[in-house]
Homo-oligomer: A and B are copies of this chain.
């Protein structure tokens, strides 16, 4: 049972995102790392560096591994990364003549970073889908509001009446930009990592770039001609975008919270959280959680940007700071998009005008 809110037995009801979590899980990571190792073995074979029988023998042997997680933990505590321990277990389980077909010329970071990218590819697709759904929900709401007026508020004070659609359009427009950013970022982000021990592909030997291209092809990722071991800008840019998403959602949620206040009464929520002491209350719980997730992600950006200061060819300190932070940003953003949809489905009226749920299953 996790002690952290994203995976906590009951707090995950608010903060959890099972779908995103899957692509960050040890189970997925382990499978992805093996996919990377296999793609590399195939790429070595394609480049003529190992024979086809050797490659096929190795690939076949890798199908039936039994990895001991407890041993991986001890090995990680010792080595700082999981890969040496994983390889040690694998090498014990496959015949010695196959060893040279596995990992030769690569380094742990190649495996871990590429496996991460494989997960981020899936996560990006989920986020893009959810952004699209949220945009649709907002458009559906706008289409029902007709000429409903609400009070425009600036500096927390009533200013002039606006169309309710004016405000909703301000919630939607940034999401459209974020979806477009998410598409654009893929070209830099979804790139195979391959550099070998010191990042220059020298240990791979001749035609290392060809090996990288094949490996990328097998994994359906891009290839940049170089390793990016110590160049972490695209990961930070991705995290930035996720925090932009949760921030824009947080703005919407904050508005809804303010609109749901007694005395303002411009949003009515169909349901709302109960209270242990005041049964009558309808708390805008989901909206509050969205505010919290947005501020959480904002905070983490100060950490992601610190990871750019990545010493020399590989910094254990800067790299592991990513491990502590980036998965959380993914989860918080996923939970934000998930909850945003729940929240919009819960909006029963805006400016006194009833709005229908999107019909989207929640």
Contact = CB atoms under 8 A, between A and B. Distances in A.
Interface of A: 1-15, 21, 24-27, 69, 72-85, 87, 103, 106-108, 111, 151-160, 162-163, 166-167, 169-170, 173-174, 177-178, 181, 184, 188, 196-200, 202-203, 226, 228-231, 233-234, 236-237, 240, 243-244, 247-248, 250-251, 254-255, 257-258, 260-265, 271, 273-278, 281-285, 288-289, 291-306, 308-318, 320-321, 323-325, 327-328, 331-332
B244 A77 contact: no
Given A197-B160, A324-B5, A294 B311 contact: no
A155 B79 CA distance: 11
A314 B155 contact: yes
Given A155-B80, A233-B247, A305 B301 contact: yes
Contacts of A323: 5, 11
A10 B69 contact: yes
A258 B315 CA distance: 13
B276 A107 contact: yes
Nearest to A197: B277
A299 B306 contact: yes
A229 B155 CA distance: 12
A305 B245 CA distance: 10
A261 B156 contact: yes
Given A167-B313, A169-B226, 5 more contacts: A3-B331, A84-B276, A106-B276, A170-B229, A292-B321
A282 B157 contact: yes
A16 to B, nearest CB: 8
Nearest to A291: B317
B73 A9 contact: yes
Contact of A240 (B73, B237, B263, B265): B237
A182 B292 CA distance: 28
A281 B316 CA distance: 14
A327 B3 CA distance: 7
Nearest to A112: B276
A156 B309 contact: no
Contacts of A324: 5-6, 15, 292-293, 296, 332
A311 B197 contact: no
B160 A247 contact: no
